[in-house]
Amino acid sequence: MNDLDRAAEILRACERTVLLTGAGVSAESGVPTFRDALDGLWAKYDPMQLATPQAFEADPALVTRWYDERRRRVASCEPNAAHRAISRWGAALGPDRFTLLTQNVDRLHQRAGSENAVELHGTLLVWRCTLTGETAADLPVPLPHCPMPSPAGGLYRPDVVWFGESLPPEAMRTAARAIEDCDVIVSIGTSAVVEPAASFVAWARNHGAAAIEINRDATPISDAVDVSIRGLAAEIVPALVERLLRVD
């Protein structure tokens, strides 16, 4: 039996499934992974210089410009076959049996139809006032000012989770419930090094769940899962979902 068939067999036997997705799922949509986004003019920066509250405080214009450029790139990208297959999978199992946790900030899962995707790291598409916490989802692309003043007299920052910040409490609660209740967790296109999501697979396993990984490369969790499938998310995930949803 090959890895895809073994993964499908495990998944079919499970009642509740959790997916944890990362930047690799969006790679074939043309959304750069975090490292790849630091190209061209941005190559000289370290993510720590751009993705922290301290960076925003020190140079709000620079950080706003970087996020606004990433937002513009994402707006021109389309969901790929992996996003669409995940959406079909979720629709087939229904919300009581399927939870999608994503570290992605690009909203491509939602654009593919996964309306209940839990955004662990927020999203690039929304900005948040530093004074009031009020959010704005409809600011023009590109922003007319960098930094961008908010009506309350603060600045708009991206509504993403920066290094050193906590995950949104509601997203974390939903994730904890799903992880502790699931029978299987599937980690797709994530390097499994950014905490706390990096520990989600071990957490689910400690509660008795099986674990499957789909990734182009080996990761720190590859040896600790039941099935590790090496390949591109846009090829592997549709093939897996087709096996799962096939009526024999």
| Site mask for ligand NAD (CB under 6 A), range 122-161, x = bound | ----------------------------------------
Which residue number is nearest to ligand NAD in terms of Cβ?
Answer: 24
Q: How far is the CB of 128 from ligand NAD (least distance, A)?
A: 16
DSSP the chain: --HHHHHHHHHHT-S-EEEEE-HHHHHTTTPPPTTTTS-GGGTT--HHHHSSHHHHHH-HHHHHHHHHHHHHHHHT----HHHHHHHHHHHHH-TTTEEEEE---S-HHHHTT-TT-EETTEEEEEEEETTT--EES---SS-SSSSEE-TTSSEEEEEEPPTTPPPPHHHHHHHHHHHHH-SEEEEES--S-STTGGGHHHHHHHTT-EEEEEESS--TTGGGSSEEEES-HHHHHHHHHHHHH---
83 part of the active site: no
The span of 89-97, 132-140, 179-187, 189-197 binding ligand NAD (CB under 6 A) equals 189-197
Size of the site for ligand NAD (CB under 6 A): 25
The span of 25-33, 137-145, 149-157, 179-187 binding ligand NAD (CB under 6 A) equals 25-33
Q: How far is the CB of 94 from ligand NAD (least distance, A)?
A: 25
Residues tagged active-site = 121
Q: Where along the sequence are the contacts to ligand NAD (CB under 6 A)?
A: 22-24, 26-28, 31, 33-34, 37, 103-106, 121, 189-191, 194, 215-217, 219, 232-233
